[in-house]
Copies of this chain bind each other. A is one copy, B any other.
Amino acid sequence: MDALLAEFERTVLAEIPLTRAMQLRAGAYETNELVLAAPLAPNVNDKGCAFGGSLASLLTLAGWGLIVLHLRRRGLECDVYVQDSQMRYLAPIWQDFTAHAAPAAGETWEAFDQALDARGKARLRVHCRVPLPEGGDACTFEARFVALTKR
């Protein structure tokens, strides 16, 4: 898993220039959770807390990465796209931050894998959050992704 995560970080930084500007780092990965991290300094806004665009970017990448990593573990070549997202900003965050992505309630990898194997296409809703150091969340995010088997 660690080699997979390190390779994921390398390819994201190589292929998506904005992630280099954000100084994105891969934090941790298990089957049902991907954690990405970013320092505050390059992601600050005019008020001195984390910029909403940086938060949205890290959350979107965490959700996308959770699916990409699942597919790489299965050895599948797919394109993964975000279809829609809802984001709630609950509290400002004044320090380095992490985005945690997990399958949304009611979603399973079994159903996802079955749909992909049967039709070459599968959707997954992902729930993500940026936790606050004092407890609770700075923001929550739910998004729907689609994976398409490459022809």
Which residues of A are in contact with B by a Cβ distance under 8 Å?
Answer: 11-12, 15-18, 21-22, 41-47, 51-54, 56-58, 60-61, 64, 79, 81-89
Contacts and interface: CB of A to CB of B under 8 A. Distances in A.
A-B complex: 8 closest residue pairs judged by Cβ atoms: A53-B57, A21-B21, A56-B56, A15-B46, A84-B88, A52-B60, A85-B87, A86-B86
A43 B51 CA distance: 17
Number of this chain's copies in the assembly equals 2
Contact of A18 (B54, B61, B85, B86): B54
Contacts of A79: 47
Nearest to A46: B15
A44 to B, nearest CB: 7
A84 B83 contact: no
Contact of A51 (B18, B51, B58, B84): B18
A87 B84 contact: yes
B46 A11 contact: yes
Contacts of A89: 81-84
